[in-house]
Amino acid sequence: MSLLPCVERETGANPSHSVIWLHGLGADGNDFAPIVPELVARDWPALRFVFPHAPVQPVTVNGGMPMRAWYDIVGFDLMSRQDEAGMRASIAAVEALIAREHERGVPSERIVLAGFSQGGAIALAAGLRHAQKLAGIVALSTYLPLGHALAAERSAANAGVPIFWGHGTMDPVVILQRGLDSRAALEALGYAVDWHTYPMPHSVCAEEIADLRDWFGARLRS
């Protein structure tokens, strides 16, 4: 399949690690690129941040308005009538981006999948199914999609994948309970979730970025 267009940021020459970061509904790959300087420590190995643009498609919950989206959302109850075909197409798009990092010399065990909201849902769905061990998954203000199929489809290679989950206690879009239910579903399957909550709405905050920096640092120095 053709690769999605991406914004890329490299923190040094010849990156040895990659972070593929998926934006939220209606945003694009530029959305999280500005946090790279805040997130990265000078003593880390060189990283390549890949911020892909989701395809433009109509989104039902927004009156059918075309926007960048990883899948369609039919209703505010996020879990009702999931756009499984759209989700699986986005998982395939992420797999293609991982394959390109392999071609550029970065193996799966040095790749982190990250995402916010819709992007976090796809990061989880793709990462837990990826056939080779990943360095980690970052899930921000999101929920677990395709949960009904995960037990059958998950990859043994990522049974122990580190998962950082950050969620706002005042999130009106992906309510906190949705995140809690998703964490419980993952823990029931044996996954360990590094769970963090913050007094914020559907967004990110400085404290979350600081915690994420510590989490990345532990993965990159191990």
Q: Which residues are catalytic?
A: 117, 171, 202
**Exposed/middle/buried for residue 68 (C-beta within 10 Å: 0-12, 13-18, 19+):** buried
Q: What distance in Å separates the CA atoms of residue 64 and residue 214, rounded to the nearest whole number?
A: 40
In sequence order, the 6+-apart residues with CB closer than 8 A to the CB of 210 are: none
DSSP H helical ranges for the chain = 36-39, 84-103, 118-129, 147-153, 176-188, 206-221
Instruction: Look at residues 159, 137, 120, 116 and name the one whose alpha carbon lies nearest to residue 215.
Output: 137
The single residue listed with the structure tokens 């990159």 is: 220
